Amino acid sequence: MPTEIPATGLALRTEITGSGELRLSLVDQPTRAPGPDDVLVRIEAAPINPSDLFLLFGPADLATAVVGGVPERPTLTAKVPERLLASVRGRLDQSLGAGNEGAGVVIAAGENAAHLLGRTVAVLGGAMYAQYVTAPAREVLVLPEGATSAEGASCFVNPLTALSMVECMRLEGHTALVHTAAASNLGQMLNRICLKDGVELVNIVRKPEQVALLRGQGARHVVDSSADTFLADLTAALEETGATIAFDAIGGGKQAGQILACMETAAARKMTTYNRYGSDTFKQVYIYGGLDLGKTEFTRTFGFAWSISGFLLTPFLKRIGPDRGGQLRERVAAELTTTFASHYTADLTLAEALQPANIANYNARRTGEKYLITPHRG
């Protein structure tokens, strides 16, 4: 049983008021003593994933951000345009924790979790931007001996999402896949998985230097959406790989529809007779991110055998069930510093995470950049 439980710990909170103000703050949060099946984790590292940004800032206009408080307890307020308030109706006037995942050391454990005491673990939950977190022992992932919290901080979101893409591809009867914004941390990870598993992957990137980056990491098919030859290049890669499922991090714009159109062109090249309804090759695009929050638009030039859908990790893990989900988690732990290694652009304390200059960096969603919050540093 624990010997020394801190009474409180610093935690980041985000709130949007009904009057249209975003308020970020740091609070001294009472530590919850672990129940018999729980562990208390001293969080040492928590990444800022794209999926965290929307909860942190909602639809606030950060150009209106104002800093307040004192250096160790800063606050940040910003205006939320009134027309966008309805989109976050469900969270108004609630102070919410943030941070989907993190890692740290178990400093206290309930009687059924005593074997975890002192171990470094990764935790999935909604409020990891905090110094201490209490979680059910069955929901933490024990890192291999010697792994650091920084190495384990991004154990869940990116690794399980990347593994789920390949899993979903197989489950739905496809044999190769497409990924957009493929030079991202997640994209590089997916590339490593596919190389290791012998799965053909078409990487779509947005800049020539990202082509070089992925090729340098062994990627066979990389197409650059900024090139004049993009659609022809993509079609050729789709024809060569037979990829009929895509995972799209961008969401807005025309690319989801372009992928379907190129898949249809690739399929049509193999057709021997005309079918006014298009090919019978089923083509799927899953939108799993929102790098472009603008509207999605497409012209339906790809027959009727197609689907554009949302994709979210948690429901997918429910779909494959806890046994298979457990296998994926074990693979992440086993390949933590190889296949699933994440790289960080910079570390930030909780207070630093509220500074506008830092926000401008980590909220820019630049491909390949990733930031880590270290709640106990400094």
- Give yes or no for a contact between 354 and 24, defined as CB atoms under 8 angstroms apart: yes
Alpha carbons 169 and 316: distance in angstroms, whole number: 12
Q: How far is the CB of 268 from its own copies (least distance, A)?
A: 6
Q: How far is the CB of 277 from its own copies (least distance, A)?
A: 6
Angle between helices 185-197 and 208-216 (to 10 degrees): 40
With respect to its own copies, which residue has the nearer C-beta, 145 or 295? Answer: 295
With respect to its own copies, which residue has the nearer C-beta, 16 or 219? Answer: 16
Q: How far is the CB of 107 from its own copies (least distance, A)?
A: 29
Q: How far is the CB of 53 from its own copies (least distance, A)?
A: 10
With respect to its own copies, which residue has the nearer C-beta, 226 or 299? Answer: 299
- Give yes or no for a contact between 251 and 293, defined as CB atoms under 8 angstroms apart: yes
Q: How far is the CB of 271 from its own copies (least distance, A)?
A: 7
Among positive and negative, which fits the CA dihedral 300, 303, 304, 307?
negative
Contacts of 202 (CB under 8 A, 6+ apart): 176, 177, 178, 179, 221, 223, 234, 237, 238, 241, 243, 246
Alpha carbons 47 and 348: distance in angstroms, whole number: 10
As a residue count, the chain comes to 378
With respect to its own copies, which residue has the nearer C-beta, 25 or 281? Answer: 281
CA 82 to chain centre: 28
Q: How far is the CB of 306 from its own copies (least distance, A)?
A: 5
With respect to its own copies, which residue has the nearer C-beta, 74 or 303? Answer: 303
Q: How far is the CB of 172 from its own copies (least distance, A)?
A: 12
Count CB neighbours of 330 within 10 A: 11
Q: H-type helices in 137-241, by residue range?
A: 149-152, 157-171, 185-197, 208-216, 230-241
Among positive and negative, which fits the CA dihedral 221, 222, 226, 229?
negative
With respect to its own copies, which residue has the nearer C-beta, 286 or 344? Answer: 286
Residues that bind its own copies (CB under 8 A): 54-55, 87, 89-91, 94, 96, 251-252, 268, 271, 273-277, 280, 287-288, 290, 293-301, 303-312, 314-315
3-state DSSP of 46-103: EEECHHHHHHHHCCCEEEEEEEEEECCEEEEEEECCHHHHHHHHHHECCCEECCCEEE
With respect to its own copies, which residue has the nearer C-beta, 290 or 325? Answer: 290
With respect to its own copies, which residue has the nearer C-beta, 71 or 310? Answer: 310
Q: How far is the CB of 143 from its own copies (least distance, A)?
A: 27
